[in-house]
Chains A and B, each alone.
Chain A
């Protein structure tokens, strides 16, 4: 019995059934299918919530392993991470997320850290514009010219220095050739996504199950 339950075909069947119900809900107006799909979507949000908890536990386990093994240069940082997770979780759950400590950590620590982490990309873009953005051939020239025009559309100094003409050219580049390429790219992405989804429903794509090679 347990070996029957382990077969991957059960998961594939569940996946395909849910997929068909969702597609049916979108295109066919039958109340029973709509209700079933609606509840399936609600249950999916519950699963997503548990996945967030799963992720936090995995992170805790990872840091606990480093702390237990006393990994040089890492164990004390892992201890600090565990302390932060546990303290925030305790206070957030017991006192609520509008408690002073929780709100203070979000406002003064998390927002600043999150923004600083992602703002590093701005510095890298600056370095790349100095070193890497070269018009080596025709393709790169087209890319650079359209990039510079799109940047000028967003920068107020461009209109102040060059007048409305540069804005008109930049807007034309954004609205016509860029749209041609963008819509066709999304067209291709949509075709590819539908292809991957159908492969998943028929069991050809099973990477999401996390099976080892010998189990596939």
Chain B
């Protein structure tokens, strides 16, 4: 073989290596992802977590509420968002009960009432004092999103006109907590867990009635939370799993949320490495193509 054709063979081999790298089946990548998530649970990295301003603001506002304040806690999340909002939900409700605040939970999506009871079961196992009808009520599902929100906030008794029975079928007139809240005017804080914009509460409760609003969102909506916080449309908020971990740290009770943040570190690092490798491959394949 002469030197010229040997050089051409080497060129073809190098090109196909980078092509093979970028065109390979994604299955090995999925296995790498699973291992990257599993590793920190076996051998925790314990990387310190910094707390965002909007989470601190939400925590501080809850701290400032006097005992007996009423928190309206609507939720618009599916069961699939438990991994994102679940830990934030548990941590915030634990804080509310610790501060002797009263929670009125209402669901705007079908999974909500069952998820509320799931949170209560977790809190009861931690020894939190939950007295149904006195410091906690689950009003069940009210479908219709914007219509339900607009109906429940309307003075003088929008909530009582909208909801007649709670999730368990009890008339709301038999629940002592419901005699204290009839519409938005009696609510000291709205703390919503939502996979949506949160802009509906802003438009229907915060701006018209001056309600105080904590926006607990899924990770994708973090820029929306930053937007609302910077425009002072919400008191603060919790952004997905990170928000839950931050709130657990502020409560002094690190739990699953904090444990999961190590896995967030490894997965994010993996994504960045993959992006860098992919772009290096692009540069090399482009060079060979020139």
Contacts and interface: CB of A to CB of B under 8 A. Distances in A.
Direct contact of A and B (CB under 8 A): yes
Interface of A: 22, 26, 34, 37-39, 41-42, 44-45, 47-49, 51-52, 96-98, 103, 106-107, 110-111, 114-115, 117-119, 122-123, 125-127, 129-136, 144, 148, 151-152, 154-160, 167, 174-175, 178-179, 182-183, 186
Given A45-B143, A48-B147, A103-B114, A129 B271 contact: yes
Most chain-A CB neighbours within 10 Å: which of B49, B270, B271? B271
Interface stretch (B2-10, B173-181, B220-228): B220-228
Interface string B101-114: 00000000011011
Contacts of B33: 122-123, 126
A151 B272 contact: yes
A132 B22 CA distance: 9
A117 B82 CA distance: 13
B79 A26 contact: no
Nearest to B242: A154
B274 A151 contact: no
Contacts of A151: 268, 271-272
B43 interface: no
A135 B79 contact: no
Nearest to A123: B30
A118 B81 CA distance: 9
Contact of B268 (A22, A98, A155): A155
B227 A42 contact: no
Contact of A114 (B80, B154, B265): B80
A123 B36 CA distance: 12
Interface of B: 22-23, 26, 29-30, 33, 45, 47-50, 78-83, 110-111, 113-114, 117-118, 142-145, 147-148, 150-151, 154, 158, 161-162, 167-169, 208, 219, 222-224, 226-227, 230, 239, 242, 261-262, 264-272, 274-275, 277-279, 282
Contacts of A148: 272, 275
Contacts of A122: 33, 267
Given A98-B168, A182-B224, A115 B48 contact: no
Contacts of B158: 38
Contacts of A183: 227
A44 B117 CA distance: 27
9 contacts: A22-B150, A41-B150, A41-B154, A42-B147, A97-B167, A126-B29, A129-B278, A144-B275, A174-B223
Contacts of B277: 130
B272 A34 contact: no
